[in-house]
A and B are shown apart, each in its own frame.
Chain A
Amino acid sequence: NAGVTQTPKFRILKIGQSMTLQCTQDMNHNYMYWYRQDPGMGLKLIYYSVGAGITDKGEVPNGYNVSRSTTEDFPLRLELAAPSQTSVYFCASSTDGGEQPQHFGDGTRLSIL
């Protein structure tokens, strides 16, 4: 089992560019999450999804968009990249929102210059 797979692992963007961070899971999990982690800080929830076709904002959604057209995939879109979006992004999935652990990908390290 691959678990949660994130691509790319590293990326450098110029200010104003856009990109999509890919996340896919092969565990048939309904719940999926996107977090960002700034240096020395904890996790901040950007967006989450409780199933295909359903998404909702987390605590820091501004500047990001998501879609969930399939159970497996949960891409995160950055439009008009800004230096403040320099961070490590983690995708996670779970069978249940509050009763089961989340499984994390290895992260995407993104720098906006």
Chain B
Amino acid sequence: AQSVTQLDSQVPVFEEAPVELRCNYSSSVSVYLFWYVQYPNQGLQLLLKYLSGSTLVKGINGFEAEFNKSQTSFHLRKPSVHISDTAEYFCAVGHSGAQKLVFGQGTRLTINP
């Protein structure tokens, strides 16, 4: 069975500082990986996805993530955050033949001025 662990439940950072949100997964088969963002009182919006190819994936709003198969990780990064990046971030994993994705518990990113 697959599982996803988001290692930090909350991450506070200062505006314009870099940030990394960590996601580790466990799976015995090849995976497909996703990061979602949920702004307050909204639904989940896809930030980026890794399906195949380059392990460095670029998404919307200046975010990027790197798939590391040996470390079974898919950490999300942004070099300089803005107040508007305050949100909940969810990592999700799937595999071929699966009927659903497995979501992590979320990381709350708080940006301080």
Contact = CB atoms under 8 A, between A and B. Distances in A.
Interface of A: 31, 33, 41-43, 45, 48, 50, 56, 58, 90, 92, 94, 97-107
Question: Ordered nearest first, which 5 A-B pairs have the shortest CB separation?
Answer: A98-B98, A98-B94, A97-B99, A104-B43, A42-B105
Contacts of A101: 34, 36, 46, 49, 92, 101
B65 to A, nearest CB: 13
Interface of B: 32, 34, 36, 42-46, 49, 51, 90, 92, 94-101, 103-106
Contact of A98 (B43, B99, B103): B99
A101 B48 CA distance: 9
29 contacts: A31-B100, A41-B105, A42-B90, A42-B106, A48-B100, A50-B99, A90-B43, A90-B44, A94-B101, A97-B98, A98-B94, A98-B95, A98-B96, A98-B97, A98-B98, A98-B99, A98-B100, A99-B32, A99-B51, A99-B94, A99-B98, A100-B94, A101-B34, A101-B36, A101-B92, A101-B101, A104-B45, A105-B43, A106-B42
Contacts of B90: 42-43
Contact of B94 (A50, A97, A105): A97
A97 B49 contact: no
